[in-house]
Amino acid sequence: MELMIKSIVSNPAIQGTPCSDRLLSDRDNVFRMMDASGKFPSGMASGNLADLGSFDQCLAGTTRGSHYCTVILKPRNASLLDRMAVYNRRVDFNYASFLVGACAPVECGSDQIQAVYQSAFNDWFNASVDSCQSSSTPLNVFQQTSLLFLGCWIFFLIIGFVLLGPSVSPSARRPCSSIDAFKALATLWVLLGHTYAIVEPHIVGLSLRYYEMRDGLLFCFISNAHVSVEIFFCITGILIAKKRTRRTLSVAIMGIFVRYVRLTVPALLILIIAPLFPIFCNGPASLLIMKQRFLNCISNWWTIPTHTNNFRPLRSGCLPHLWYISADFQIFIVVWTIHCLVVRKRYRMVLLGLIGAASIAYVALESLVFQYAPTVMSGKTIEEVWRASTEVYQRPSCHLASVVVGYIAGSLHNSKMLDAQKLSGRRAELYVFSTTAMLYAVLGGHPWISRSWDYTERPFYPALYAAVHRPLAALCIATFYLLREHRRKCSKRENSIGDDGVNGGSLDSDESSEEDVRMKGHGCPFFPEKCADHCFKLGQVRYACAGALSMTCAC
CA atoms within 13 A on the CB side of 312: 26
Of 55-64, 132-141, 516-525, the range with the lowest mean pLDDT is 516-525
Rounded to whole angstroms, the Cα distance separating 100 from 86 reads 21
User: Given a cut of 90, is residue 92 above it in pLDDT?
Assistant: no
pLDDT tens column, 353-383: 999 999 999 999 999 999 999 998 888 777 7
Structure confidence at residue 193 (pLDDT): 82
- Which of the four pLDDT bands, split at 50, 70 and 90, describes residue 191? confident
Mean pLDDT of 84-107: 66
Greater pLDDT, 130 or 189:
189
- Which of the four pLDDT bands, split at 50, 70 and 90, describes residue 427? confident
Report the percent of the chain where pLDDT is more than 90.
Answer: 25
pLDDT tens column, 239-282: 999 888 888 889 999 999 999 999 999 999 888 888 777 777 77
Rounded to whole angstroms, the Cα distance separating 475 from 405 reads 6
Are the CB atoms for 85 and 141 separated by under 8 Å? no
Mean pLDDT of 456-467: 91
- Which of the four pLDDT bands, split at 50, 70 and 90, describes residue 50? confident
Greater pLDDT, 240 or 181:
240
Rounded to whole angstroms, the Cα distance separating 338 from 453 reads 41
Q: Which range has highest mean pLDDT (57-71, 311-325, 462-476)? A: 462-476
Structure confidence at residue 514 (pLDDT): 33
Greater pLDDT, 179 or 334:
334
Give the Å distances, CA to CA, from 187 to 86, 259, 306: 35, 21, 25
Report the percent of the chain where pLDDT is more than 70.
Answer: 76
Among candidates 393, 332, 329, 327, which has minimal Cα distance to 366? 393
Chain-wide mean pLDDT for the chain?
Answer: 79
Are the CB atoms for 552 and 517 separated by under 8 Å? no
pLDDT tens column, 271-326: 888 877 777 777 777 777 776 667 677 788 899 999 998 998 877 778 888 899 99
498 sits in the region (left: phi over 0; alpha: psi -120 to 50; else beta) called: left
Structure confidence at residue 80 (pLDDT): 56
At position 331, the amino acid (one-letter code) is I
Q: Give the per-residue SS3 of 290-349.
A: HHHHCCCHHHHHHHCCCCCHHHCCCCCCCCHHHHHHHHHHHHHHHHHHHHHHCCCHHHHH
Structure confidence at residue 538 (pLDDT): 60
Are the CB atoms for 504 and 523 separated by under 8 Å? no
- Which of the four pLDDT bands, split at 50, 70 and 90, describes residue 479? very high
Mean pLDDT of 408-429: 79
Rounded to whole angstroms, the Cα distance separating 401 from 360 reads 7
Structure confidence at residue 531 (pLDDT): 65
If one counts every other C-beta atom within 10 angstroms of the C-beta of residue 513, the result is: 16
Structure confidence at residue 548 (pLDDT): 45
Mean pLDDT of 447-455: 87
- Which of the four pLDDT bands, split at 50, 70 and 90, describes residue 36? confident
pLDDT tens column, 123-148: 778 888 888 888 777 777 777 888 88
- Which of the four pLDDT bands, split at 50, 70 and 90, describes residue 201? low
Give the Å distances, CA to CA, from 251 to 258, 350, 527: 10, 22, 16
Rounded to whole angstroms, the Cα distance separating 448 from 380 reads 9
Beta bridge mates, 125? 75
Of 60-64, 80-84, 325-329, the range with the lowest mean pLDDT is 80-84
Structure confidence at residue 335 (pLDDT): 96
Among candidates 555, 463, 452, which has minimal Cα distance to 513? 555
User: Given a cut of 80, is residue 223 above it in pLDDT?
Assistant: yes
Q: Where are the domains of the chain?
A: 2-134, 143-166+181-273+303-488, 510-554
User: Given a cut of 50, is residue 508 above it in pLDDT?
Assistant: no
Mean pLDDT of 397-413: 93
Greater pLDDT, 310 or 164:
310
